[in-house]
Amino acid sequence: MKDDIEFRTEAQVLIAMNDNEPEAVRFIAPLQGGGQIDVINVTWRDFLSYSSKAALYLSELGVRPNTKVAVYAKNRLQWPFCLMAIHACRGVFVPVYHSYTPAEVEYILTHSDSEILITELDMLSVLLKIWNRLPPIRKIILMDMKLDFTQSIADFDKLKDKIVFIDDVYADGERLLRDDPDGFTRLAAQITKDDVSTILYTSGTTGPPKGVVLTYENLYVNAGDWIDVLSPLIPETRVDLLWLPMSHIFGWGELGLGNTLGFTTYFTTPFTVLSDMPTARPTIFISVPAYWEKLYLTAKAASEDKTEQMAKLRELTGGRLRFCLSGGAGLKREVKEFFYEAGLLLIEGYGLTECSPTLTMNRKDDFDFDTVGKPFPRVELRLAADGEILAKGLNIFKEYYKDPAATKEAFDEDGWFKTGDLGEFTERGFLKIKGRKKEIIVTSGGKNISPQLIELRFKDDPYIEHIVIYGNERKYLTALVTLKQDTVSAYAKQHGITFSEFSALVINQSITALIQSRIDEVNKDLASFETIKKFYIYDGHLMPGNGFLTPSLKLRRKNIHEAFKDRLDALYSQ
């Protein structure tokens, strides 16, 4: 492994960037206020100014090392200012997904011992449902401006004495900054590598989420590896589209990479990011597989001619794309090969929140599309006897917050972190992921099957939205299927299939035959014991809101199996 790296926090990087390029644009974002939507450019000088004001406000509020400050909001321009302020005060950042249920929000705010809550008007209705059960929260900072607020929120009086709007935070912070111009610099200089930076709650496919405690050392060692490995691919012009939620370490990591390497970042949303690409013309795009697959399918559908497909891809992405990173789940080889033919190396890696988060990555001149790359310079990996991937390094977390039993279970007797994933190394040293250890299906015939590797084959199917493999201790595999409503409805109209409701369409024999043909196509390339013999089509969708997906869109397999057990079990008696 490489030696340790020089320790610099993002607050110190921000100060240095402001010294070097104060008028360079750091963020471009839609600005909402007074009912109007406009676009605002935020320079490095502005970034430092807003962050400094917010930091001095939080410091006066009593935010110190180990003070837990939760952020419960969608991505918006105030996010990086508030996050920088929390860290400058050496507070502990506790992100809460905006899509969490009230019960999940309650659990995280309570379990984390959060004292300060930074949120937005849209979230107040959720907070009011759980307010009487929350721990004592001293202050609620709303990222909205006061003129965005009309008091039409039921029971608002419960919260009003604790609420302060972001413009008042900045006004108070400006007063404090006038009295102490070097306050932010002094605060940033006190941060140590052993300070706790964040408690990130894993979304948890089973049971309540666990709070992963990460120090500055964990994060900055991993950031150093990112830069060592990825910098040869980073273009000189650095423009990215940030849509990944900053409450997840993937989106937060992109923000941090942009702070360190000097990106100009366009704020966008999951719903508009692809339509924003031709206008923003990013040189950097970091995304989960679904968006790479959408670009691939749209370009492929434009023409039978490969040259025209490549031209379409350039049109869709704005024509300047140079750095492409996919994470969060596996991406089909065909997608990566298509981008490579277009002159774009689509990089994949592997990691977990507990690892800050990255363990492996493919490289510019050293990659294998069937793998997740080689270990980072400051990471050690090995395989347990059963094939579980074990990890060591300064990027590995030390504990789950207030959960010593789970912490002990996460490490083996020699101190190696147990990832829960099964893998194997190729002869060239690349890591291949075989599946989650606890999700491996063992058939009644004794065959071990990774459901994820089969499900991945349907990732870019035009008609199948999700497929969930079932069959533990059974003779063969079955599956739950959900459909892409728009494309299936369009198929029905093209083929003269009449329907009044989508629920009637999914049980139509022609649609069943269509899905059977899609499954048969995948089955051809599988071992006989891996093939899907029967399936059930659900007329709804798997979403975080109904408990079937995590906020990062991973399957909550246990919940799905329990909810559809009778339907799936019935497939074995037909």
pTM, entire model: 0.83
Best CATH choice for the domain 226-436 from the list 3.40.47.10, 1.10.3720.10, 3.40.50.1100, 3.40.50.12780: 3.40.50.12780
Q: Which runs of E-coded beta strand occur in 288-330?
A: 323-326
Total residue count of the chain as it appears in this document: 574
**Matching residue, tokens 């207030």:** 402
Q: Domain 10-191, what architecture?
A: 3-Layer(aba) Sandwich (3.40)
Q: How far is CA 498 from CA 314, 505, 506, in A?
A: 38, 8, 12
Strand duo 139-142 + 92-96: pairing: unpaired
User: 21: buried, middle or exposed (CB in 10 Å: 19+, 13-18, 0-12)?
Assistant: middle
How many CB atoms are closer than 10 A to CB 171? 12
Strand duo 68-72 + 116-119: pairing: parallel
Q: Two tokens at 247?
A: 């409450």
Question: Does 226-436 match 10-191 at the fold level?
Answer: yes
Helix axes 78-88, 44-61, angle to 10 degrees: 50
pLDDT in tens, the chain (574 residues): 455 556 788 899 999 999 999 999 999 998 654 444 578 999 999 999 999 999 999 999 999 999 999 999 999 999 999 999 999 999 999 999 888 888 889 999 999 999 999 999 999 989 999 998 988 899 999 999 877 666 666 667 778 789 999 999 999 999 999 999 999 999 999 999 999 999 999 865 556 789 999 999 999 999 999 999 998 999 999 999 999 999 989 999 999 999 999 999 999 999 999 999 999 999 999 998 889 989 999 999 999 999 999 999 999 999 999 999 998 777 889 999 999 999 999 999 999 999 999 999 999 999 999 999 999 999 999 999 999 999 999 999 999 999 999 999 999 999 999 999 999 999 999 999 988 888 888 787 778 788 988 998 898 899 999 999 999 888 899 999 999 999 999 999 999 998 889 999 999 999 999 999 999 999 998 888 899 999 999 999 999 888 898 877 788 888 999 999 999 999 998 7
Give the domain ranges of the chain: 10-191, 226-436, 440-570
Q: Tell me, what's the pLDDT at 10?
A: 87
Q: Tell me, what's the pLDDT at 4?
A: 53
Q: Does domain 440-570 have CATH number 3.30.300.30?
A: yes
- DSSP for 474-535 reads SSSEEEEEEE-HHHHHHHHHHTT---SSHHHHTT-HHHHHHHHHHHHHHHTTS-GGGSEEEE
- DSSP for 94-136 reads EEE-TT--HHHHHHHHHHTT--EEEE-GGGHHHHHHHGGGS--
Strand duo 464-470 + 477-483: pairing: antiparallel
Q: Tell me, what's the pLDDT at 263?
A: 97
